[in-house]
Amino acid sequence: MNRRRELTAAVLACAAAGGLALSSAGQSWAAVTVTRPAPLPPVDAALTGSTLAPLVPAAGLLLLAAAVALFAVRSWGRVVLGVLVVAAGIALGTAAVRTLTGAVTVDPADLRTQVGLDRATVAVDPSVGWPVLALLAGVLGVAAGLLVVLRGRGWPGMGQRYQRTGTTTGPAPRRPQTDEDRHQAAWKALDGGTDPTDDDPGR
């Protein structure tokens, strides 16, 4: 791929990863059942990805911002941005894997009631679909970030395609004087009271 296609691929991957992360963060990642001592009834709740893993929406926003920032920054700035994108992808993947493997903790503050929770039994049934979507977003983010780190320094920047290389700024060169220009200068000299055939204008 040439440099411009690499830049386009990285931008699209960051945007896709950010969109998938934000979409998945608003969906239910786990069903929670809280069994409390009698006579209190059990409590059922559905926790979203943003509740279980607050880094998921934050990483999604960072990836979307990186998709825009790739056009604005250059050289080492892109390398730093690529490292941030890799970190966001790792955060997404870690949150998704922890949920899929059941290694999640539920804060009682996330549930709908606090009554009897000190002696309750909490059972978490993780969902599969939305955490997998976040895991896919994490893989895309890591791939895009590595591409930016390894290749981003040589990519063109915003507006660079319109700049001409090898040109110098300065006054425009004068065009050769034509016969018509000399005739015009002679008539202007006559109008000003000067003889154009006189070799010594100061005499």
Read off the amino acid at residue 161: R
For the full predicted model, state whether its pTM sits above 0.85.
no
**CA 113, CA 129: separation in Å to the nearest integer?**
27
Classify domain 3-159 by CATH architecture.
Up-down Bundle (1.20)
The domain limits of the chain are: 3-159
Which residue stretches of the chain have pLDDT < 50? 160-168, 203
At 101-120, the pLDDT tens digits run: 877 777 666 666 666 666 66
Write down the pLDDT at residue 143.
Answer: 94
Helix spans in 26-128 (H)? 49-52, 55-72, 76-100
At 51-81, the pLDDT tens digits run: 888 899 999 999 999 999 998 888 888 899 9
Task: Compute CA distances 135 → 64, 120, 125, 189, whole Å.
Answer: 16, 31, 18, 83
**CA 94, CA 145: separation in Å to the nearest integer?**
16
Residue 143: name the closest of 86, 87, 94 by CA: 86
Write down the pLDDT at residue 16.
Answer: 95
Write down the pLDDT at residue 57.
Answer: 94
Phi, psi (degrees; rounded to nearest 5) at 64:
-65, -40
